[in-house]
């Protein structure tokens, strides 16, 4: 580490040299990374294929339901009887074989993406129309299929333009060239549409349904590609690929992930202009004597002003000695304040007084502005209600060292990663999360005290000292964060298990609901499915990764049971029912034994089931057209009522308020204030968010106090006003904005 003192005369020279050498170094490092990325680009993109496939798999049930619903609507609204029949057949097919459809789609998408990734770098650009309309189409159906594919793909490209452009840019970075065209993107919407359509063609051998389904694959029905593309972009950027070309951006220069999350803070352009004018000499900051209440630069004598105007050359010649005397005075102040700091009871910026010291009389306008701006910033910090008195006392001891640093290097005001600025921001963040409720002193406060003491005793124009103490404080916080994560490992596992069962229950409820909504489920069977079979499906969904056949078996048994109670209008259907009953009832009893349903209701259920089956076997061989129409009307009426109920329920669930938006915006690392009563407010960090954002784990900084809360309960607390988000913006940014805001231009 270079410990050469920074002199006022050498500061600009060193800065200029750094500005010249830095781009060259950055260019060499960038080329090195891009060379490495280019060599392994295939592996990087191949690793995105299973990510995309898994994200698609999570949407397949919803896709299947939307497609089935559209097919049913088309069968009801189609003018041509043939189209209505094909639509209805396709609707029934996907309802009966939804699990097979899931597997086919996932397999097709995985194969298509793998194939595209393997050849994407060799693909030549083609005109957008030519990629769909080539000369290989010989029949009307083939030509129509290509047109439908083009329309569906184009609609999805428009809807997902933002993440697609980002992904084009990132892939271009991997290839070490300009962003690629969407026709070269291996994750373009066309690939997903083709894969889903191919899966349908495998599921249904009837060619008549192929174009019909392709026509329905519009954005409202199709997979939601935006979150899939977003996840791929995030995964690539996590690998170090950056859209702006800065692949080596150092994430450690600012506040780290173990601190409260830092919201992006952009200073108002008007305030930025003020800051530039302050340091260009266009604005002269008035300053105040805290003891006498005198204000403005009129306190500087006219004699001194005239001397500065008329003796500029002499002042320039004596500048080094004047500065040296001023810095000697600052050093003495630093020592004196360090000795008396423990007796300080009133917090206010000392820097106003610094400007009235004898050696400050000949400071330049730029130097006076610098000190006055810092004084105003420290005034804001000492008035900040988010910081406790202990932390404010700690920060107060840094005033003189910060002045000495900033007079050497005014990048403090412009560069977020400046070590002195980083230290202040870390202290501001740490002050928010100090444990002030415990009877024992917070150990973090002791570590910060050691840091302050080291700065007070060792700082002597070596800015590297600030980098050292920042590193020490970061190391302590990282170690504390690591221990906290270990402490919450068991609550995380418990929450994961609970969420897994909750999600499995939601899937089970959905499986039953879409069947009940058809209106074809008998009343007593509907109660049975909603009260008992949901329990079976919940278990099956929870183990589908380990035992996928269990879910398929449970769904098939449910579908067979529903079918067994539908009207049988022909002798063949009745024979099929009689043939299937023994095996179906055996499976039904086996599943019910698994959930240990041994209540008297089970006997009653099977009694009703037997009566219905016997009645169907004794029914007239042929139902009259009128009776068939009555049955169909009743089924349609029940289906309509069910859909209306579902629509109203979904609309109520989807309505968002401010509380739900607050919870949706939460990120790991944020701090929240919980106030069960008006007198006691406790701060906890959001330590973990479940994959589906259904539950959250909050903990204190050490992790020894942790609790889990569901999404619904957390929203209720926001609505009740017993919880609020603590925004941990940069302390220096806030203080600087405050110092400039009331400044007259």
Asked if residue 634 and residue 502 are part of one domain, the reply reads yes
Establish if 255 belongs to a structural domain.
no
**Each residue of 572-625: pLDDT tens digit?**
888 888 888 999 999 999 999 988 888 888 999 999 899 888 887 776 555 566
Establish if 252 belongs to a structural domain.
no
**Each residue of 729-745: pLDDT tens digit?**
788 888 888 888 766 55
Mean pLDDT in residue range 398-403:
87
- CA 616 to the chain's CA centroid: 55
Asked if residue 392 and residue 477 are part of one domain, the reply reads yes
The CATH number assigned to the domain holding 693 equals 2.30.30.140
**326 touches 359 (CB < 8 A):** yes
Domain boundary among 615, 647, 679: 647
Establish if 187 belongs to a structural domain.
yes
Dihedral sign for Cα 466, 470, 471, 476, please.
positive
- What does the block give as tokens for 38? 């280019």
pLDDT at 28: 34
Q: ∠ at Cα 316 (313, 320), nearest 5°?
A: 155
| Distance from C-alpha of 237 to C-alpha of 173, rounded to nearest angstrom | 11
Q: Three-state SS for 360?
A: helix
Measure the N-to-C terminal CA separation of the chain; round to a whole number of Å.
42
Alpha-carbon torsion angle 291, 292, 293, 296, nearest 10:
-110
Close Cβ partners of 354 (under 8 Å, ≥ 6 residues apart): 330, 333, 360, 371, 375, 400, 403
pLDDT at 199: 93
Q: How far is CA 265 from CA 261, 419, 663, 726, in A?
A: 12, 18, 21, 15
Q: What is the DSSP letter of 168?
A: H
pLDDT at 105 over 50: yes
pLDDT at 679: 65
Asked if residue 588 and residue 537 are part of one domain, the reply reads yes
**561 touches 581 (CB < 8 A):** no
Among the listed ranges 28-42, 46-60, 89-103, 259-273, which one has the minimum average pLDDT value? 28-42
Put residue 281 in one of left, alpha, beta given phi > 0 → left and psi -120 to 50 → alpha.
Answer: left
| Distance from C-alpha of 372 to C-alpha of 354, rounded to nearest angstrom | 9
| Distance from C-alpha of 376 to C-alpha of 735, rounded to nearest angstrom | 8
**377 touches 425 (CB < 8 A):** no
Establish if 625 belongs to a structural domain.
yes
pLDDT at 273 over 90: no
**433 touches 701 (CB < 8 A):** yes
Burial class of residue 309, CB neighbours in 10 A (0-12, 13-18, 19+): exposed
- What does the block give as tokens for 204? 């249904």
pLDDT at 205 over 70: yes
* Mean model confidence pLDDT for the chain: 76
Asked if residue 341 and residue 433 are part of one domain, the reply reads yes
| Distance from C-alpha of 597 to C-alpha of 316, rounded to nearest angstrom | 96
Dihedral sign for Cα 219, 223, 226, 232, please.
negative
Dihedral sign for Cα 497, 498, 503, 508, please.
positive
Establish if 256 belongs to a structural domain.
no
Of the pLDDT bands very low, low, confident and very high (cuts 50, 70, 90), residue 256 is very low
Asked if residue 49 and residue 5 are part of one domain, the reply reads no
| Distance from C-alpha of 509 to C-alpha of 515, rounded to nearest angstrom | 10
pLDDT at 626 over 90: no
Mean pLDDT in residue range 183-189:
89
| Distance from C-alpha of 604 to C-alpha of 609, rounded to nearest angstrom | 9
| Distance from C-alpha of 662 to C-alpha of 696, rounded to nearest angstrom | 13
Nearest CA-CA partner of 186 in 158, 161, 167? 167
Of the pLDDT bands very low, low, confident and very high (cuts 50, 70, 90), residue 633 is low
Asked if residue 196 and residue 97 are part of one domain, the reply reads yes
**Each residue of 532-572: pLDDT tens digit?**
999 999 999 989 888 888 999 999 999 999 888 887 777 88
Domain boundary among 647, 672, 698: 647
**725 touches 714 (CB < 8 A):** no
Mean pLDDT in residue range 401-413:
84
Q: What is the pTM of this model?
A: 0.48
Q: Which of 10-19, 190-199, 303-312, 400-409 has the highest mean pLDDT?
A: 190-199
**Each residue of 119-161: pLDDT tens digit?**
765 544 444 444 444 444 457 677 788 888 888 888 898 888 8
Q: Which of 41-50, 287-296, 395-404 has the highest mean pLDDT?
A: 395-404
State the residue for tokens 């047109």.
147
Burial class of residue 618, CB neighbours in 10 A (0-12, 13-18, 19+): exposed
pLDDT at 522: 78
Q: What is the DSSP letter of 532?
A: I
pLDDT over 90 for what percent of the chain?
14
Of the pLDDT bands very low, low, confident and very high (cuts 50, 70, 90), residue 488 is confident
Asked if residue 297 and residue 426 are part of one domain, the reply reads yes
| Distance from C-alpha of 742 to C-alpha of 722, rounded to nearest angstrom | 34
Asked if residue 506 and residue 470 are part of one domain, the reply reads no
Put residue 494 in one of left, alpha, beta given phi > 0 → left and psi -120 to 50 → alpha.
Answer: alpha
Mean pLDDT in residue range 681-706:
84
pLDDT at 223 over 60: yes
Of the pLDDT bands very low, low, confident and very high (cuts 50, 70, 90), residue 226 is very high
pLDDT at 102 over 50: yes
pLDDT at 525 over 80: yes
Asked if residue 499 and residue 471 are part of one domain, the reply reads no
- What does the block give as tokens for 234? 């995030």
Establish if 254 belongs to a structural domain.
no
Asked if residue 205 and residue 321 are part of one domain, the reply reads no
Mean pLDDT in residue range 215-219:
90
Of the pLDDT bands very low, low, confident and very high (cuts 50, 70, 90), residue 347 is low
Q: What is the DSSP letter of 417?
A: T
Establish if 692 belongs to a structural domain.
yes
633 compared with 538, residue with greater pLDDT: 538
Nearest CA-CA partner of 166 in 231, 73, 218? 231
Long-range contacts (CB closer than 8 Å, 24 or more residues apart) made by 178-181? 181/125
| Distance from C-alpha of 653 to C-alpha of 648, rounded to nearest angstrom | 9
Among the listed ranges 365-379, 431-445, 496-510, 596-610, which one has the minimum average pLDDT value? 431-445
pLDDT at 1 over 70: no
DSSP 596-647: T--SHHHHHHHHHHHHHHHHHHHS-SS--HHHHHHHHHHHHHHHHHHHHHHH
- What does the block give as tokens for 357? 């010291």
**38 touches 441 (CB < 8 A):** no
Among the listed ranges 29-33, 360-364, 580-584, 675-679, which one has the minimum average pLDDT value? 29-33
- What does the block give as tokens for 188? 């373009």
pLDDT at 63: 93
Range of the domain at 14: 1-29
Asked if residue 335 and residue 480 are part of one domain, the reply reads yes
Domains contained in the chain, number: 5
Asked if residue 50 and residue 17 are part of one domain, the reply reads no
Establish if 248 belongs to a structural domain.
no
236 compared with 680, residue with greater pLDDT: 236
């Amino acid at each position: 580490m270079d410990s050469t003192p920074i002199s006022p005369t050498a500061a600009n020279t060193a800065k200029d040299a750094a500005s010249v050498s830095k781009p060259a170094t950055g260019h060499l490092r960038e080329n090195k990374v891009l060379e490495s990325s280019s060599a392994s680009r295939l592996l990087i993109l191949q690793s995105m294929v299973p990510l995309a496939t898994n994200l698609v798999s999570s949407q397949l049930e919803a896709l299947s339901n939307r497609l089935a619903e559209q097919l049913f609507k088309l069968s009801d609204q189609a003018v041509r009887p043939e189209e209505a029949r094909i639509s209805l057949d396709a609707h029934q097919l996907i309802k009966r074989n939804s699990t097979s459809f899931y597997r086919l789609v996932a397999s097709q998408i995985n194969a298509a993406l793998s194939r595209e990734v393997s050849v994407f770098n060799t693909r030549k650009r083609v005109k957008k129309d030519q990629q769909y309309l080539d000369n290989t189409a010989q029949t009307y159906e083939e030509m129509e299929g290509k047109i439908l594919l083009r329309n569906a793909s184009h609609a999805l490209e428009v809807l997902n333009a933002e993440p697609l452009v980002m992904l084009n840019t990132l892939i271009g970075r991997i290839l070490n060239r300009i962003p690629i065209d969407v026709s070269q993107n291996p994750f373009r919407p066309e690939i997903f549409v083709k894969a889903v359509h191919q899966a349908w063609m495998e599921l249904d051998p009837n060619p008549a349904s192929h174009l019909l389904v392709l026509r329905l694959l519009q954005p409202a029905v199709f997979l939601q590609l935006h979150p899939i593309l977003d996840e791929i972009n995030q995964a690539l950027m996590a690998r170090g690929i950056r859209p702006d070309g800065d692949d080596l951006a150092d994430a450690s220069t600012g506040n780290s992930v173990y601190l409260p999350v830092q919201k992006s803070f952009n200073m108002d352009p008007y305030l930025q202009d003020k800051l530039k004018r302050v340091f260009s000499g266009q604005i002269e900051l008035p300053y105040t004597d805290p003891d006498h209440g005198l204000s403005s630069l009129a306190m500087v004598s006219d004699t001194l002003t005239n001397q500065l105007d008329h003796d500029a050359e002499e002042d320039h010649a004596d500048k080094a000695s004047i500065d040296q005397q001023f810095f000697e005075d600052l050093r003495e102040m630093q020592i004196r304040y360090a000795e008396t700091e423990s007796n300080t009871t009133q917090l206010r910026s000392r820097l106003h007084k610094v400007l009235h010291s004898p050696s400050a009389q000949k400071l330049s306008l730029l130097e006076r502005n610098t000190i006055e701006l810092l004084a105003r910033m420290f005034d804001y910090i000492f008035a900040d209600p988010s910081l406790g008195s202990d932390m404010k006392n700690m920060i107060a001891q840094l005033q003189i060292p910060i002045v000495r640093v900033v007079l050497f290097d005014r990048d403090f005001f412009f560069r977020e990663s400046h070590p002195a600025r980083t230290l202040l921001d870390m202290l501001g963040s740490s002050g928010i999360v100090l444990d002030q409720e415990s009877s024992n002193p917070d150990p973090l406060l002791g570590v910060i005290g050691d840091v302050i003491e080291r700065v007070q005793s060792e700082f002597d124009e070596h800015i590297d000292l600030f980098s050292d103490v920042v590193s020490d404080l970061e190391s302590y916080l990282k170690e504390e964060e690591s221990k906290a994560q270990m402490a919450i490992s068991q609550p995380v596992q418990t929450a994961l298990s609970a969420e897994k069962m909750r999600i499995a229950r939601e899937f089970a409820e959905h499986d039953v609901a879409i069947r009940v909504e058809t209106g074809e489920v008998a009343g007593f069977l509907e109660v049975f499915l909603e009260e008992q079979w949901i329990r079976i499906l919940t278990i099956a969904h929870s183990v589908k990764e380990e035992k996928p056949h269990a879910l398929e078996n449970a769904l098939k048994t449910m579908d067979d049971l529903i079918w067994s109670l539908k009207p049988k209008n022909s002798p063949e259907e009745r024979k099929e029912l009689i043939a299937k009953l023994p095996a179906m009832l055996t499976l039904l009893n086996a599943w019910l034994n698994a959930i240990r349903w041994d209540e008297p209701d089970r006997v009653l259920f099977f009694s009703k089931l037997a009566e219905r089956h016997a009645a169907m076997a004794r029914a007239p061989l042929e139902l009259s057209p009128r009776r068939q129409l009555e049955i169909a009307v009743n089924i349609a009426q029940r289906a309509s009522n069910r859909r209306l109920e579902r629509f109203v329920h979904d609309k109520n669930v989807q309505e968002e308020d401010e509380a739900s938006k607050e919870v949706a915006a939460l990120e790991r690392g944020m701090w929240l204030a919980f106030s069960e009563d008006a007198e006691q407010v406790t701060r906890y960090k959001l330590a973990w968010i479940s994959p589906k954002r259904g539950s959250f784990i909050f903990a204190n900084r050490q992790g020894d106090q942790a609790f889990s809360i569901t999404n619904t309960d957390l929203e209720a607390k926001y609505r009740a006003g017993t919880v609020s988000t603590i925004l941990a913006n940069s302390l220096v940014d806030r203080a600087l904005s405050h110092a400039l805001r009331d400044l007259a231009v």
